Chains A and B, each alone.
Chain A
Amino acid sequence: MSTGEALARAAQATQVEIPQEARDRARELGWEDGLIELALAKGHSLQVIWQALRAGVDGQRAKEFLQGGQTAIPRDLSWMEVPTEWGIRARPKDPAMGLTIADLMIGTYGDVPDVWTNRSEIARGSYPNPIVEDMGYTIFEKALVWADCCVPLYEEAIRDRWVSATDLNWNSLEPLPHDLERAVCQFMTEQSERAYFTGALWSGWLPEISYGFLELKLFLSTIIYDLARHSEAFRKRALSNGGGLGLQAPTDYSRVAKEARSFPELAAILFVQDSMLYTLFSHGDEFAQNELERDLYRFVARDRKRMMDYHIERMKHMLFKLPDRRDEQNLYLNKAESRMGKDWADPAVSEPLAILLGGGVANIEEGKRKLRDLRKLQVDSYLADLQKATFIRKHINGRLEQAIQA
């Protein structure tokens, strides 16, 4: 470096504002006063000096480095040798599905611990930094949230995605009689709100779950995305055929879900609704008024099947691991059934379905009979779902029982 260049750089160095964080860090590392300015004068950029400070280069090493006239930044590279499992070559087991997260469950990377202890956002299987901030997760116990099926269900959800804007034939809609259109729209209003609310509810629980259960969080993300699409698809149907949005959904059931104080309580409460809605949409052909609605209900039912698979396996797994919590589930299920019974008894919930099942107000008695059959089927399927989860519900809540008979 010529004298002129050195002077120019020194002058430039005096113009660079040195952040307090850098000075503090330099002091911690034993850098002599003025060493940062010297480094700047020698042509090192502030960023390079900062990288040296972040890498923990101590004062002695920094001084030697600068006196030696080196221009290259010292490097550490110790991260290359951290003792994580190395040599992993995940390959697709099923070429049609591609490289799935199931294919990554190999070696230590596939170990989902019963209790996850790290409070940071560390990726499971990476080498922990010993000093990290607590990120505020509250769920560290596998038994509360986990179901093995979340691993394949995540990729299935991505494979089975659909788009309401283009996968439904909106041009096929034809005007319906007034009572039927209004019934469709009231049903859509209720379902759009329920889907939006439930998506928001699940979303709010995501930050509670620690990284140990990554695959479960990935799967929950697909549920949230599914519910977003359901909400908008129902809204679109309400606003596309001469109707509109009707009366806001009843709030009893959703409130009890919102009130859940723990993930198992939330999951037990949503088990009730998700089972009932899966059965409902699986029988969508019985109340659909046209091809578009049949397609919509089929798509929704397919998505909801994944949710139910998760619910059943999670509850089964939890009851196996935590048998002392079996009776507690009755408390949550009872609350949920009670509020669902109240919602079902609401005219804005029951009447649109009866009208759609009967084919119009004129055939309301037929519609009511079909609705009773459908409600009974929903409850029977729900009890069967609980049985699959190894839970025998001896008596359903009386309010729900009454709602079936109404």
Chain B
Amino acid sequence: MAANPATESSLDLSWLDLYEDAASAEPGKKGLTLKEINLGRYADSARGAGDMTYRMRGAIPRPGAQRFGPNYQSKADVWSENCLMLYEEATQRQWSSARDIPWDTLEPLPDELERAMCQLATMLTEVEFIAGDVPGQWMPFVSAQDFEAGLFLMTQIMDEARHTDVFRKRALANGGGLLAQGAGLGLRTLIEARDFTEMSVLMHVQAEGFVQSMFRMGELIGQTEADKRIFRMSAQDESRHLAFGVMHLKYVLDTEPERREEIHHYLDKAEGDAAGGGSGDVTFPPVFEALCILLGGGVDKFDEGLQKFLLLRKRQINEYVHRLTVAGLGDRRERLGPLMAQFLDPA
């Protein structure tokens, strides 16, 4: 009879046979993604109660594990049904501001256009800086029971770093420099949030939504191929952040409909605090003027630019309300303040 090696060597091996089911995820068309490993007792649908540790969903609880302080115990607090797909998309679509922007296509611009572009870049590098801090602030509260949401937020932190750096690069790459600090951009509301859903609806849905609508007009705002590409690449990232936020809000409203009025309160505050501009407010005078110059094509075409700026605001507000409607908060349209409501198309 063979000796029991475990006994012979005083091995414990209590960890070896804690489970009987075998997980054998197989790669799909896009490789082995989070979707493929979202199976059996490891799936988000099998999520159990949280325990204030960082135990990954599906791992066997350790007797005597210490707590790490409060984190969200309910899935609805942080979850978004698309976060698995968005995480994998984010890893596939990382880009480099150093090498993926055709910096060599930059050409000297008329001074007023270069200054306008640099002012816009100054504002955007500031906005994107906060957009990295905000998810960072919430990461310690995202339970590992909902780790996919946490992983997604970590990709967002990376995306925002890249955006912060690419707009700084743009300001310093074409004979210009940074200009006036933004102020009253409504960014404090993002960092002031005391709840994940509050943060998400203000940052992902409102602020990033407004920025996204602007980036999508990058073909009109950008003066060079490099500028336009910066806006295109950044918009691609913003789409993911926005999609996370919309689907998170939808999940909350579907599963905890009693939170509807609470969420309206957050939006009331954010829309009002930024004096109707919302978070990432483009009505801040230097940004407003810079946009009018860029959209018009010069100071002497400021009024043409102003008309396009008003179109931008119209687009921002209508897309914002549409996204809220998709998430199930269509009644927001009735509560928009006058500075936003003036742009709203009829339902």
Which residues of chain A have a CB within 8 Å of any CB of chain B? 16-19, 21-22, 45-48, 50-51, 54-56, 71-73, 75-77, 79-80, 82, 84-92, 97-101, 104, 106, 109, 120-123, 125-129, 131-133, 135-136, 154-155, 158-159, 161, 163-166, 168, 170-171, 179, 182-183, 186, 189, 192-193, 196-197, 199-201, 203-207, 211, 214, 217-218, 221-222, 224-225, 227-229, 231-232, 235-236, 238-252, 254-255, 258, 347-348, 351-352, 361-362, 364-365, 368
Contacts and interface: CB of A to CB of B under 8 A. Distances in A.
Contacts, number: 386
Contact of B306 (A73, A131, A205): A73
Contacts of A170: 26-27, 31-32
B320 to A, nearest CB: 15
Contacts of A362: 5
The number of chain B residues touching the other chain, given as a range, is 35 or more
Contact of A244 (B21, B155, B339): B21
Contacts of B142: 200
B16 A182 contact: yes
Nearest to B303: A72
Interface in B72-118: 87-88, 91-92, 94, 96-101, 103, 112, 115-116
A383 B303 CA distance: 66
B191 interface: yes
Contacts of B91: 163-165, 229
14 contacts: A47-B313, A50-B275, A51-B283, A75-B289, A82-B180, A123-B178, A165-B30, A165-B31, A182-B15, A192-B56, A228-B151, A235-B37, A246-B60, A248-B60
A207 B135 CA distance: 9
B284 interface: yes
A90 B173 contact: yes
Interface stretch (B6-14, B211-219, B231-239, B321-329): B6-14
B222 interface: no
Contacts of A199: 139, 150, 154
Given A123-B125, A199-B139, A247-B59, A47 B289 contact: no
A92 B106 CA distance: 13
Nearest to A240: B25
B98 A100 contact: yes
B149 to A, nearest CB: 11
A121 B158 contact: no
A351 B34 CA distance: 28
A98 B140 CA distance: 34
Contact of A221 (B17, B130, B160, B168): B160
A201 B32 CA distance: 27
Which 8 A-B pairs give the minimum distances between C-beta atoms? A98-B98, A165-B31, A203-B139, A206-B136, A221-B161, A347-B12, A228-B154, A79-B286
B188 interface: yes
Contacts of B32: 164-165, 168, 170, 236, 240
Interface stretch (B62-70, B202-210, B240-248, B255-263): B62-70
B68 A254 contact: yes
Given A221-B157, A225-B154, A229-B91, A236 B37 contact: yes
B165 interface: yes
B135 A203 contact: yes
B201 interface: no
A247 B172 contact: no
B18 interface: yes
Contacts of A252: 66
B169 A99 contact: yes
Nearest to A166: B31
A79 B56 contact: no
Contacts of B178: 84, 109, 123, 125-127
Contacts of B151: 196, 228, 231-232
B276 A19 contact: yes
B42 interface: yes
Contacts of A222: 158, 161
Contact of B188 (A16, A47, A135, A200): A135
B137 A207 contact: yes
B5 A51 contact: no
Contacts of B5: 361-362, 364
B127 to A, nearest CB: 8
Given A87-B177, A101-B169, A364-B11, A193 B144 contact: yes
A16 B338 contact: yes
A352 to B, nearest CB: 7
B200 interface: no
Contacts of B12: 347, 351
B223 interface: no
B164 to A, nearest CB: 7
Contact of B61 (A71, A92, A248, A351): A248
A222 B164 CA distance: 13
A193 B177 contact: no
Contact of A239 (B37, B116, B181, B182): B37
A163 to B, nearest CB: 5
A251 B15 contact: no
A337 B258 CA distance: 48
B276 A197 contact: no
A241 B172 CA distance: 50
B337 interface: yes
B158 A165 contact: no
Contacts of B119: 79-80
B181 A127 contact: yes
Contacts of A100: 98
B177 A155 contact: no
Among the interface residues A77, A155, A179, which one has the most CB atoms of the partner chain B within 10 A? A77
Interface in B255-308: 272, 275-276, 283-286, 288-290, 292, 299, 302-303, 306
B162 interface: yes
Given A122-B181, A165-B33, A45 B342 contact: yes
